[in-house]
């Protein structure tokens, strides 16, 4: 069964290089900024969804009752 030799040391060195490159790009402040942006977006989308449901409910109620009540 002739095969090629597998160099585990080269694999470990490649993984270490990859991890050091990735961790060198991200800092705590970058991660906190990303979390803040995502959290702000989620809150904004939730408020838009809630407000849109409220408006649709009020308009539908106005048409079914014949008047607008707040």
pLDDT digits (tens, 9 = 90+) for 22-60: 777 778 888 899 999 999 999 999 999 999 999 999 888
pLDDT computed for residue 3 by the predictor: 53
pLDDT computed for residue 4 by the predictor: 64
What is the tens place of the pLDDT at every residue in 2-25?
556 677 888 898 889 888 887 777
pLDDT computed for residue 31 by the predictor: 85
CA distances from 60 to 28, 42, 47, 50, 56 (A): 48, 27, 20, 15, 6
């Amino acid at each position: 069964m002739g095969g090629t030799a597998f160099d585990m040391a080269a694999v470990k060195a490649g993984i270490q290089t990859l991890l050091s490159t990735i961790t060198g790009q991200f800092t705590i402040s970058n991660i906190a900024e990303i979390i803040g942006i995502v959290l702000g977006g989620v809150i904004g989308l939730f408020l838009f969804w809630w407000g849109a449901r409220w408006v649709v409910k009020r308009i539908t109620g106005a048409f079914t009752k014949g008047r607008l009540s707040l």
